Amino acid sequence: MYQKTIAELAAGLRAGEFSSEELTQSCLDRIEEHDAKLNCVVTLTESAALEAAKAADKRLQKDDATLLTGIPYLHKDIFCTLGVRTSCGSRMLDNFEAPYDATVTAQLQAAGAVMLGKTNMDEFAMGSSNETSFYGPVRNPWDLERVPGGSSGGSAAAVAARLAPLATGTDTGGSIRQPAALCGVTGIKPTYGRVSRFGMIAFASSLDQGGPFATSAEDAAHLLEAMSGFDPRDSTSIDRPVDHYAEGLGQDLSGLSIGLPREYFGEGLDAQVGAAVEAAIDEYRKLGAEVKEISLPNTSLAVPAYYVVAPAECSSNLSRMDGVRFGYRCDNPRDLEDLYTRSRGEGFGAEVKRRIMVGTYALSAGYYDAYYLKAQQVRRMIRDDFVKAFEDVDIIMGPTAPTTAFKLGEKADDPVTMYLSDTYTIAVNLAGLPAMSVPAGMADGLPVGLQLIGNYFEEGRLLNAAHRFQQVTDWHTRMPAGFY
Amino acid sequence: MQQAGQLCYLSRFREPVIEISTMSLDAQAVKKIAHLARLGVEESENERYALNLSDILSFVERLNAVDTHGIEPMAHPLDASQRLRADEVTETDQHLQFQQVAPKVEAGLYLVPKVIE
C-alpha cells in the first residue's frame, strides 16, 4: 500500500479495495514500526486520525469527496491545529495548543485528508539539519548517522521512509527543497503569497511559504492544489485563481528553454552531486529541452542578505513569545523583566537565540541602514537577476544543495558553515519565486536533488517539467533499505 | 499619514545606540544585545555567543562592498501593496478561548508580576 501513488490510493478507495480506515491504520503501523529510528513524528494523533478516516469513508460513499479524501498526511508542527499541540520544535511552545486552525490545516480538513500527526522540525524553522529541535534530531532514512536536512526534516524523512504518502512543510530559505534533496523526495515551495501563512507560525514573514512533500511531482501537485488559494486573513496572500496543477501534467517539453546559472556550478559544489545534476539535465535535453548557460551575478550575496533579513524579521516575530499570553513561563519570576528574560532564555534554544540577537543588533538604532536597508537593496538586485534571466529562459535548473546529507553534529557548532548549505536555495526566497527539488541521482548511496526554479506563479510549469523527468527516470521511486 | 502599501522604515529601539564596533562583538556586547531582546543568556555562554555572532556579522559584512546607490529597498517580492478591508467587525470576542492557553489568568486578565509598587 505504501508504494502507491495518490491517484492509485484514491482509485483504490473508490473501488473498495481498501478503506481509508485501513489505509490510515497501515500508515500508523509504519510509523509505529519505523519512527523510533527516525524521530519524524513529535505528536501522533492516532485516534483522531482513525475518526477522520471513518468520516472520509462515509464521504467517499457520497459524491462530494475530493481526490485527497481519505488520504493520510503528516503535518509540519509549525501549522496550528485546534486541539492538537503545535510546538514548532521549541520548548517555548511545548505546552501550546492553538485556539484555532491554520488556513492550510482547515483546507486539508475540508478536502477530507486525514492528519496522522505533527512532524519534527528545527526550532521555529531555524536550521538546515533538524538538529535544533527541542525534541531531538531527525535521522535520515538513507543513513541514520546523517541529517535529513531542515527545517522540515521530519516531513521529508517521513515521506522518504514511506510513513505517509504526503506531508506539509514550510520554506523560508530552503526548508522544503533542501530536506527534499537530502532525503530523496519531491518538494515544492510555491510563489510567495500562493499558500496562506495564517496560522503558520511566523519566522521571517516576507520569506515564509508553505508547500508539499510527496514521492512524486504528480502527488505533490495534488497536495499543492489543496493547500493553495487566496486567504483574506493573510495580508500578503495573492488573490488569484489556483491552477489545476495535476491536470496540466504530461505536456511535451520540446522547445522548453532551461537556464543553468554558472554560479550554481562553481566552487563549493560536490563533484558527485554536480555530475548527477549534469546527468539529469542531459535527460531534459533528450526530452527536447534547450539548455543554455546563464548568469545570476549576485548569487554570492544571497546568503549574507538572508542572514540580515531573516534574523531581523525573526527577532520581531518572536517577540510575541514573552511568557504572558501563551507558551512557556519561567518559575517564580522576580519582576516583569525577569519574567520576559528568563521565559525567553529558558524557552529558546541556542540557534534561535543567535538569530534573535543578530536581528536585534541589525535593527538597533544606528545600525538599521547599514544592515537591514542594505540587505533589502541587495535583495532587489537578486530579484532583478532572476527577472532578467526569465526574459530568456523558461526554467532555471541546478543543484538543490551543494552536498548530499552530512553527518549529525558535523556542522552543528559552526553557524556560518551550516548557513552555506542553503547556498542554492536562499535566493529564491528572497525573490519570492516558486522552486522545487526532485530526486535526480545518487552519490555514495545518498540522494541528490535537482532544483527547478520557475517564474512567478509558474508552479504548473515546474511540476510538469518534474513529472516528465519522473516519467523517464526512476530516482523518485527508490526507497531507503530497511524501510520496505 | 502613511499611504497604504508604503512600508515604514523606522528603528524599533529607542534605547541608545549600542557602543560597539562592527565585525567583532565581545561578551559585553552580547549582554547588551541580549538585554535589548529580553533574552536570558547564561554568563558562561556570552563568550561563545560573542564568537558566533561575530562570525555571522563578519559574514554579512560582505554586503558593504556592494554599490546599492539608488536601489529601492525591496519589501515584497511582487511589490504588492497592502490590501485594505471594509471597516466592518469580523472578529467575535473569543478571549475565554484564547486565555485558556495563557500561563496565568484571573478575571479575564493576564497576570504578570507586580509592575507598580
The per-residue pLDDT for range A47-74, each reduced to its tens digit, is 999 999 999 999 999 989 999 999 999 9
d(CA A255, CA A290): 6
- In this prediction, residue B91 carries a pLDDT of 87
| pLDDT at B23 (0 to 100) | 63
Domains along the sequence of chain A with CATH: 6-253+436-445+458-477 (3.90.1300.10)
Q: Look at A374 and B30 and tell me if their CB atoms are within 8 Å.
A: no
The three three-digit cell numbers of residue A445, written as one number: 548511496
CB atoms within 10 A of CB A253: 20
What is the share, in percent, of chain A residues with pLDDT greater than 90?
97
Residue A33: CB partners within 8 Å, gap ≥ 6? none
Q: How far apart are the first and last CA of chain A?
A: 11
> Could you read off the pLDDT of A382-441 as tens digits, one per residue?
999 999 999 999 999 999 999 999 999 999 889 999 999 899 999 999 999 999 999 999
- Which residue shows C-alpha cell 548511496? A445
On average, the pLDDT of chain B sits at 82
- Tens of pLDDT, residue by residue over A29-44, are 999 999 999 999 999 9
Give the ipTM: 0.92
Confidence of residue B18 (pLDDT cuts 50, 70, 90): very low
CA distance B116 to A316: 27
A478 near B CB under 8 A: no
SS3 A34: helix
Please determine, for residue B15, whether its predicted confidence score (pLDDT) is greater than 60: no
Cβ–Cβ < 8 Å for A425, A400: yes
Provide the pLDDT for residue B79: 77
The confidence score (pLDDT) of residue B24 equals 83
- The model's pTM is 0.95
Chain A residues in contact with B63 by the CB 8 A cut-off are: 301, 304-305, 308, 371, 374-375, 378
Would you say A222 and A248 are in contact if contact means Cβ atoms under 8 Å apart? no
Write out the three cell numbers for A342.
528568563
Closest CA relative to residue A224, chosen from A178, A198, A191: A191
Average predicted confidence (pLDDT) for chain A: 97
Which residues of A are the active-site residues? 76, 151, 175
Which pLDDT does position B44 carry in this prediction?
Answer: 94
Tell me how far CA of residue A221 lies from CA of A171, A403, A477, in angstroms: 17, 27, 17
Model pLDDT for residues A283-342, shown as the tens digit of each residue:
999 999 999 999 999 999 999 999 999 999 999 999 999 999 999 999 999 999 999 999
Distance CA A167, CA A159 (A): 7
- Residue A94 near residue A134, CB atoms below 8 Å: yes
Q: Could you say which of B38, B83, B113 has the minimum Cβ distance to residue A333? A: B113
Chain B environment of A132 (Cβ under 8 Å): none
CB contact under 8 A, B78 and A432: yes
Angle at CA of residue A178, ends A143 and A138, nearest 5°:
45
Distance (Å) from the alpha carbon of A376 to chain B's nearest alpha carbon = 5
pLDDT digit string, tens, across residues A1-34: 899 999 999 999 999 999 999 999 999 999 999 9
